[in-house]
Every structure is written in C-alpha cells, then in structure tokens.
Amino acid sequence: MATPLSASRLVKALRDEGLEVHEYRNWRAHNRNHKGPWGPMNGVMIHHTVTKGTSGSVELCYEGRSGLPGPLCHGVIDKSGAVHLVGNGRSNHAGLGDGDVLRAVINESSSLPPDNEADTDGNRHFYGFECVNLGDGKDPWPEAQKEAIEKAAAAICRAHGWNHRSVIGHREWQPGKVDPRGFSMGTMRDRIAKRLGEKPDGPSKPPPAPPRPTYEPFPGAAFFNKDRNSKIITAMGKRLVAEGCGRYKEGPGPNWTEADRKSYAAWQRKCGYSGKDADGVPGSTSWKKLRVPNV
C-alpha cells in the first residue's frame, strides 16, 4: 500500500529512469477523483489502446469516449518509447476486477490466481499505462516501446519500494480482457525485475489451467421483456457495469427494466452498432461478446 505519487514526483521518477516524458494539456489536474477514492496504491497495470498513431491515441486517453470519460489512464506509451502523461489521480482504466488478484499483487505473490470475478474497483488501486497498439496480435511492439513499458513500471515500483510482481496486465485483472496482446506479461515482469536489480521469476511450471469459463447461451430476444424476472438479467447487468456500459441508478437486479435496455444499448454501441441495431434488445452476436457467466 502507498500514497499516490504527486504529479511532480511521478514526472521525476519517470525521467530518472531515462524516459522521454511529455506533459499533455492540463494533465496534473485531470482525474476522476469526484467519482471515488484514489489510493492506496498497490500496483501498475499495462494496457493496449486498440488505436494507431500517437496524437489521436493521446487525445482519446485524455478526453475519453462516449460513456467512458477521460482520463483513461495516467500515461500513454507510444511506439517510439515516449510517455505522454494524461491524468493525475483516479482514471477510467482498470474497471472492476478480481479481488483475489489484487491481494496477490499486494502480497507480491509469485503467481496470480485466475481473474474470474469482477468485484473490486481497480481504478482506485492501480496506475495505468495505455500502450499504442491495435491489439490484433499483428501490430508490432517495437523494442523501444517495450523498453519504455519496462522503465515506466520499474520507475513507479522503485518510487514505492515495490518489486516486479506489483505489475500486471489488464488481461490478468478483469475477466474477458486480452490486453496487452502481443507480448508475455511474465517476460515483461522478468525485464522489470532485472532493471530493479532483482532475481527474475524466470520460467516455471505453470499452475493447472483453471476450468474453462462457461457463459449463458443467448436466450433469444423474446426473453427480454418487462415481465421477465431472472438471475440471467442480474448477471447481464453486472457484466454491462464491468464494461463501463451500466446506466443504473440502482441495481442491476433480476427484473428487465428500461435501465437494462439503455445499458445494453450502450454495449451495442460499444460493439459498433448504431441506429435501430443499437435498440437495447440483446442479439446473439453482441450477447456472445458480453460473456455473461452461467447462473
């Protein structure tokens, strides 16, 4: 646990690690602290942007997008290895994740448990770096960018007295996430360990694979009507909240409501639908992408 670094201390830590640092607009006062606590800090989380180009990616991470206001991280790491600071305080980058993973990070455990729950506020506890990459498994990760990820994570760990096990990927935190895609977080942690002067974890026998998660099959559009009361609707609502699409003042609960419809419409828009294709009534394709756990 640690008190969040001030803006000046963060800049100094990054530059002392040898990074090129750019301060974007009013980043020092740009945060979501009015939405919840910021700290205590427990670790560093790495993401990819699903965008290309530095200027557009930095602006997006500063401003946010429809339904998810910025900042979307604390720093953007571009392909050249430069760090662009866009937020100082709570930011919308981690979302709800697995409390068991947070406990493993706090304890700096040698392995992480499966991220099969979305029950803990990660925006409160993690610094976040978005790395410019399409996240399609084809877009390359230049060595300069990977070295900057290593340096940025090491800088924060050094400032707080943490080791490399305080650094995780978004995919290790929140169910259904894949970022950062294109390199191994285990290998990245080994790089960070070497930079910090620690012994890397190195290759080890992986723990047994957790059971493959199963998801609710699409129950059909007719299932979703005002008379429906089902645990499936509650589970769906929780996933919509985890994806940043919740439009609930209370709940979600088991009864299908207008808030459920508006929340699902936000998810459909996030999936790329518009107009009458984003009417809030679940369809089979968007439902499959949402991955509602079996109830």
**Is a pLDDT exceeding 60 seen at residue 95?**
yes
Question: Across-strand partners of 293?
Answer: 215
**Is a pLDDT exceeding 60 seen at residue 92?**
yes
pLDDT value for 227: 87
Assign 169 a pLDDT band (cuts: 50, 70, 90): very high
pLDDT value for 226: 87
Q: Could you tell me which residues come within 8 angstroms of residue 45 by beta carbon, excluding any fewer than 6 positions away? A: 93, 94, 122, 126, 127, 128, 129, 167, 168, 169, 170, 173
pLDDT value for 211: 72
pLDDT value for 1: 61
Provide long-range contacts, Cβ within 8 A and 24+ apart, for 95-101. Answer: 95/122, 95/123, 95/174, 95/242, 95/243, 95/244, 96/120, 96/121, 96/122, 96/174, 96/241, 96/242, 97/122, 97/173, 97/174, 97/175, 98/173, 98/174, 98/175, 101/168, 101/172, 101/173
Instruction: For 81-91, write each residue's pLDDT tens digit.
Output: 999 999 999 99
- Taking the C-alpha atoms of 28, 12, 93 and 119 in order, what is their torsion angle to the nearest 10 degrees? -110
**Is a pLDDT exceeding 80 seen at residue 200?**
no
- Rounded distance, CA 13 to CA 75, Å? 13
- Among 87, 20, 79, 19, CA closest to 53: 79
154-171 average pLDDT score: 97
**Is a pLDDT exceeding 70 seen at residue 209?**
no
CATH code assigned to 7-195 = 3.40.80.10
Question: In this structure, are strands 75-77 and 43-48 parallel, antiparallel, or unpaired?
Answer: unpaired
**Is a pLDDT exceeding 50 seen at residue 204?**
no
109-127 average pLDDT score: 96
Instruction: For 264-284, write each residue's pLDDT tens digit.
Output: 999 999 999 999 999 999 999
Percentage of the chain modeled with pLDDT above 90: 92
pLDDT value for 64: 96
Question: In this structure, are strands 21-23 and 83-85 parallel, antiparallel, or unpaired?
Answer: parallel
- Rounded distance, CA 174 to CA 165, Å? 17
238-262 average pLDDT score: 94
pLDDT, greater one: 213 or 224:
224
Percentage of the chain modeled with pLDDT above 70: 96
**Is a pLDDT exceeding 70 seen at residue 210?**
no
199-213 average pLDDT score: 63
Q: Is the pTM of this model over 0.85?
A: no
Mean pLDDT, all residues of the chain:
94
Instruction: For 40-62, write each residue's pLDDT tens digit.
Output: 999 999 999 999 999 999 999 99
